[in-house]
Structure 1
Amino acid sequence: MTPSTPNTPPKALRRAAAAAQAHAKTAKSTKQPQHSRPEIPFEPHDRILLIGEGDFSFATSLLTHHGCADLTATCFDSAEELGRKYPQAAGHIAALEAAGMSMLYGVDATKLDKRKEIKRERWDRVVFNFPHVGGKTRDVNRQVRYNQELLVAFFRAALPLLVPDGTIIVTLFEGEPYTLWNIRDLARHVGLRVGRSFRFSADAYPGYKHARTLGNIEGDGGWKGEERPARTYVFEKAEEGGQTREPDGKKRRRDEDSDEDSDG
């Protein structure tokens, strides 16, 4: 920038400075973020219950890369069935056990109160990544209904397990048939509301690999579910009458569909 001289009028200097400042502000606001940081809905101190963990790679990533050290990871399969479906799970289980984390087998997401290890605790985060009933039928409408029933039963089972400000976190693939499940409405019917939602980034969890409901399938062409677009929903307890509490404890009315959506 060329230094000013005594002959430059002060008013002109002020105009030039204001113009430069406005230009810089505009350039900053129009600049597109190149590397937005993915949102991680966990804190290291959270007590986290993971449902339907598949091969336990997600739990291992939370422990190893995000410092979450109060984990209980569960899967629907028995230990024997898990080993058959996901041979890679052995290494993840060994890492979790070495760190003192808990693993539970044969856990039904719709009957969490049947396991005393789960219901005797209160959880900051109850997490169900990519819930799915599996290939029960080829009829799309029936498949949608079965998955809706799974989610509603899971919400009802998980809600009493939360601490007062706890959340239920569910991640689904985007697009049909998953959008047909209407997860927001399902949650609303059981006393939950979406606090926020955002794109799920598998890259934020190094070592995580999406485990198919059917397990590893030979000759599937190297299918990688973690590369499909997905969205995470963070559900909060809804107040009576559709109200939610402000940080100062006051209640305010909130539109049920006005949750914060982030594409970052």
Structure 2
Amino acid sequence: MAKSKKRKVTNHSTNNKPPAKQQSAKAAKPGPSPKAKPTIPFHSEDRILLIGEGDFSFAKSLVDHHACYQVVATCYDSQEALYEKYQPQAEEHTKYLEESGQTVLYGINATALDRTKKLINLGPQWDVIIFNFPHVGGKSKDVNRQVRFNQELLVSFFKAAIPLLADNGTIVVTLFEGEPYDLWNIRDLARHSALEVQRSFKFAADVYPGYSHARTLGNIDGGGGWKGENRDARSFVFQKQGASGEKQPEWKRGSKASKKRKREGEKDTSDDDD
């Protein structure tokens, strides 16, 4: 009898199929981090004193775009010299300010504010005093002498401004970053003038529409080799020593990052917000 052939059985069960290749999921690309909101060191209702204005474009922006309505804007130049240096925009800006009910003062010395009757008579004291880009001008080409001259300017300004400051008021000074400005050591100058550093932050010129940095020499044909509003700059906020315990507006209390560091027990050695 012939042997029956065994039939080879192929197992078609899906359980023995090799596992299908799985494509590795691509890691989701993180989205762009939200842009930090720029710091504006005043409120629209503050009594604001501006020192050392150039063509008054900063003052105009405060009124026109930030709805500030208690502004006194001053410059060191006489009215005649100002209009000659910054023609035609200075006259346009000062006219706008005065027509908006603000005060413009000429010939105001930043180192003698406490002895200037025009300011004293305006009382009461100021919530915010702002001095953007102070500089003595080209007194010397020697860097060390320039540093010393500008340090003397700042110390004299601080001492003259303090008597005009409200109890919880602040002084804001903006400087370019890098040398020679870092050599001025503005934090130490303020501490030796009975002030303490409250915070500092990057100055964002684009927050002030219409503002343009005015050179001490006046308008330069072609705009000069650089524009100040495009350079990195930092604003420093100072208050009277011992005033830190007083009630402060939210923007004056320090950044969220600084608060987080304190909650987590990390030593916070910097007043910089960014």
Partner of 1:116: 117
Letter in 2 for 1:173: F
Cα shift at 1:114: 2.8
- Structure 1 residue 262 and structure 2 residue 262: aligned? no
Q: Deviations over 1:70-112 (max 9, x none)?
A: 0000000000000010011111111101101000000000011
Residue type of the partner of 1:235? F
Q: Which residue pairs with 1:45 in the alignment?
A: 45
Whole-angstrom CA distance in 1 between matches of 2:83 and 2:180: 30
TM-score, normalised to structure 1, is 0.81
Distance in 2 (alpha carbons) for counterparts of 1:219 and 1:247: 48
Deviations 1:93-151 (Å, cap 9, x if unpaired)? 11101101000000000011232121242100011000000010100000000000000
Flag the structure with larger Rg.
Answer: 2
Asked whether the equivalents of residues 114 and 163 of structure 2 are also in contact (C-alpha less than 8 Å), the reply is no
Out of 226, 229, 236, the position equivalent to 1:226 is 229
The code of the aligned residue for 2:181 comes to Y
- The residue aligned with 1:195 is 198
Change (3 A) 1:261 1:137: same
Which position in structure 2 is the counterpart of 1:158?
161
SS in 1 for 2:166: strand
**CA RMSD of superposed structures (Å):** 2.3
Query: Structure 1: which amino acid aligns with 2:85?
Result: K
Matches within 5 A, 1:59-208: 59-87=59-87, 88-120=89-121, 121=123, 122-208=125-211
| Structure 1 unaligned spans of 5+ | 1-26, 249-256
Q: Is the 8 A contact 1:195 1:259 kept in 2?
A: no
- 1:36 to partner: Cα distance: 2.0
Residue 253 of structure 1 aligns with which residue? none
- Cα displacement (A) at 1:60: 0.2
Q: Which residue of 2 aligns with 1:58?
A: 58
Distance 1:221 1:110 in 2: 29
SS at match of 1:110: helix
1:98, 1:244 → 2: CA distance?
A: 37
Cα offset, 1:223, TM superposition: 2.7
The answer to whether the Cα contact below 8 Å between 2:168 and 2:246 also exists between their aligned partners in 1 is no
User: What is the CA deviation profile of residues 33-88 of structure 1, one whole-angstrom value per residue up to 9, with x for unaligned ones?
Assistant: 34321110010110000000010000000001111100000000000000010011
Counterpart of 2:255 in structure 1 is none
CA distance in 2, matches of 1:52, 1:246: 29
Over the matched positions of the two proteins, sequence identity in percent amounts to 61
**Aligned-partner residue type, residue 36 of structure 1:** A
CA distance in 2, matches of 1:161, 1:247: 19
Q: Secondary structure at the residue paired with 1:76?
A: coil
Q: Which amino acid aligns with 1:91?
A: E
Q: Separation in 2 of the partners of 1:228 and 1:133?
A: 19
* Per-residue deviation, 1:220: 5.1
Whole-Å separation in 2 of the counterparts to 1:55 and 1:85: 9
Give the Cα–Cα distance (whole angstroms) in 2 for the partners of residues 247 and 162 of structure 1: 16
One-letter code of the match for 2:150? N
Question: Which amino acid is the alignment partner of residue 89 of structure 1?
Answer: A
Q: Which structure features the higher share of strand residues?
A: 1
3-state secondary structure, aligned to 2:39? coil
Q: TM-score scaled by structure 2? A: 0.78
Residue identity opposite 1:261 in structure 2 = D
Partner of 2:6: none
SS at match of 1:260: coil
